[in-house]
Amino acid sequence: METLTDSIVTAVQQADTLLMHAESLTADVAHASHALAPLISDLALILGMGAAVTLLFRWLKQPLVLGYIIAGFLVSPYLDFTPSVSDMESVDIWAKIGVIFLLFSLGLEFSFKKLMRIGGSASITAIVEIVLIFMTGYLLGTALGWSTMNCLFLGGMLASSSTTIIIKAFDDLGVKTKNFARVVFGVLVVEDLVVILLMVLLSTVAATQHFQGSEMLFTIGKLLFFLIIWFVMGIFLIPTILKRVRRWLNDETYLILSIGLCLGMVVLATQVGFSAELGAFIMGSILAETTSAEKIEHLLKPVKDLFGAVFFVSIGMMINPPLMLANWNIILLVTAVIIVGKFLSTTCGAVLSGQSLRQSVHVGMSMAQIGEFAFIVATLGLSLGVIDDFLFPVAVGAAVITTFTTPYMIKYADNVYFLIEKILPRKFLVSVNSYASSSQNIQAESEWKMMTRKFISSTVTNTIIVLAVIIAGVRLLLPLFVTLFSNRLYASISACAITLLVAFPFLWAMMFRHTDREKYKELWSNKQYSHGPLLILEIVRILIGVALLSYLINRMFAPMTVLLIVVPPIVVLLLIFSKRIRQFYTLIERRFMTNFNSREIAAARKESPMAGIKREFAPNTVNDTWDVHLVDLEVSQEAEYVGRMLVELPWRESYGISVVYIRRGENLIYAPGANSKILPFDHIGVIASDEQIQNFMPVFESKNIPVNNNYDVEDIVVEKILVDEHNHLNGLMIKESGIREKYDAMVVGIERGVLRIPNPHSSEIFQEHDVVWIVGNKKKLKTLHTS
């Protein structure tokens, strides 16, 4: 009986325990449901308000970014008559994810080749503008008595213009085909890159709370080191991996894989001390060089739009009306500095880059605003806790005002130029235009300069790779082997051997390889050039290699005497096995270049014929003082000339324009002949001046030689050659020169002293010292220079 009673008591106790667990579980579930509800309701509120406001802004033909900011203000806690977001922490996390995807998407559109095609003109303009406006922002903050961090971040916020607002204004005003527009697009690309790197430096200064030259140099060196390593390894590995697993990839797995790679690089960047934004941008720029770039960009767009909308709405939620009203005078002052400062700094940069004053004024007037990156920089400062709260609404207020002033500044750029022309002395104007003209004169790049540039770039790249391998060996392999082997000497020998084995190809290339052996021998044997510089370069790179080897041996083996015993045999081994190492290095280099040029190779093989065609033509090849440039126009299906051949259209004779390509679907008709027909929705490449385009557009209204798919739009460049004894053009007519037949090129202009002959007749005779403007494939034109 007692046993039965005990059993009942035990069962009751267990039942009570289970009941308590059930109640606890029910409470946890209820708590989880309450915790989940605010996140879902907040997201519904954000997206619903964002959709409503952006529909209104689209109807008003205003930038959607402003619509998102207004929507964020409407759901902020500062307005009592509208619903407000309740869980700001969750929204902040979503906003940070939005910044990551915005930078990842920007990297996908970036491409290192695009940066190289921009050329010096846009690069010089952007760098001068960023330096001057950054200093202006810093000095303004100092004059207002702000803290050093507020001053630095104000300069960072002013450093970048708004791509979205500029493109919208260009479309509305119909100036996207103007010559100055291509310079603006190039400046925007450089600005994006420089501001991303500037954010890294600002983060470093914010972490230390002081500015030291040595520390900044270390940060810049560290940044360049990791950028090169990530770029080289990323281009070498990722396209190869994507190619191997392509058969198993569909839209879903492409999206998951690309997001995984993006977030993986974000984690890696933060682990080595950089920002998450930099990691996202780097991975995007790496994927931009693959054949899957357009597909990934297309798949990622809905994700970017979703999280990007949350980010810009969160920007609006930070607008504090009382704080903005209290600082209205500072907002107006910063706005004035943006409009005047960015106009003057960009105009100065454009003039220094060799553009005419009129075009420089147009570029400067187009860039006088701030936008998306200003918000990102301000958000970075707030998240780091290094700037005051008032600075963010100041940036938002200035951005809103300059958004509305931008179209008017672009529209009245000519009026400003004419006013400047009246104010400035005539002598000064002549000097500026003379400088712009002289800076565009042909400066043949000597073989020595080309060889030196290749020499230095190869040495620097391989040095960084060797240094990375050595650091990995010392920091990772050696500690691992020390734990595996009881003998320190065995561990050092094993780690050193593996490190040297991996580093050998790059170490050999750094110390002994010549990028162009035949050209190097020719320069060495040419008595016109001194052997001194070549000899110094050879000695320097060998010394760098010995220094790296010495560092590795010293870290692996403590006694310095080991250096004298180990280093010389290693150098001897590099020389003995030079041929085999060169073969192995050539395979590595070939794989890298194949991956780097995979989009162009795929286009040539018709795997992805549209892979290389961009939305904008590459802004790199046309003289700024002679207002001639390439414009891509789309043929309307209602155009009256549809179906007619080029020979039937008096475009060249009446308007002075030349059609240099026709892009039809996936095919590109390069240098179309007289019998080529114009069909609906064709894209034709027209070369002309701004004035000729303006006169031609009313006739054009809106937008069959065998198709040559080996060329791409980006391969078509405008170059100039000098008629001299080297190319044997002197005395020949254009039609006798064989330029079209031999080099698939067209002569579109001749500069003869002060005389300029645009679109010359085929019977025009070349004269000595003529500067001939030619449109053609950049690879084939190189042979024309030396023929």
Kindly give, in sequence order, each residue whose CB lies less than 8 Å from that of residue 244, ignoring residues fewer than 6 positions away. none
Query: What pLDDT, on a 0 to 100 scale, did the predictor assign at position 696?
Result: 83
Cβ atoms of residues 230 and 286 within 8 Å: yes
Largest Cα span, the chain = 128
Quick one: CA dihedral 409, 415, 419, 425, positive or negative? positive
Kindly give, in sequence order, each residue whose CB lies less than 8 Å from that of residue 69, ignoring residues fewer than 6 positions away. 312, 313, 315, 316, 319, 396, 400
In 679-742, beta strands by DSSP E:
683-688, 716-722
3-class DSSP assignment, residue 107: helix
Quick one: CA dihedral 50, 315, 107, 249, positive or negative? negative
Rounded CA-CA distance 130/687 in Å is 31
Rounded CA-CA distance 597/514 in Å is 22
Alpha carbon separation from 781 to 439, 727, 774 (Å, rounded): 22, 12, 9
Closest CA to 601 of 388, 291, 211, 373: 291
Q: What is the dihedral of CA 435, 441, 445, 449, to 10 degrees?
A: -10
In 2-159, beta strands by DSSP E:
none
Q: At what angle do helices 517-525 and 531-556 cross, to 10 degrees?
A: 130
The predicted model scores a pTM of: 0.64
Query: What pLDDT, on a 0 to 100 scale, did the predictor assign at position 441?
Result: 47
How many Cα atoms sit within 13 Å of 493 on the Cβ side?
6
Query: What pLDDT, on a 0 to 100 scale, did the predictor assign at position 660?
Result: 85
Rounded CA-CA distance 167/172 in Å is 9
For the chain (787 residues), the mean pLDDT of every run of 10, in chain order, is 52 53 48 59 85 86 80 83 79 83 81 62 84 91 89 88 78 76 81 80 73 64 76 80 82 88 88 80 83 83 86 81 86 92 90 83 89 82 84 85 86 88 82 65 50 73 81 82 78 80 80 68 60 70 81 70 61 69 73 69 48 38 54 81 82 83 78 83 83 79 50 73 78 83 83 84 85 82 67
Closest CA to 273 of 220, 232, 231: 220
The H or E element spanning position 251 is: helix 251-271
Q: Which residue has tokens 């064709």? A: 682
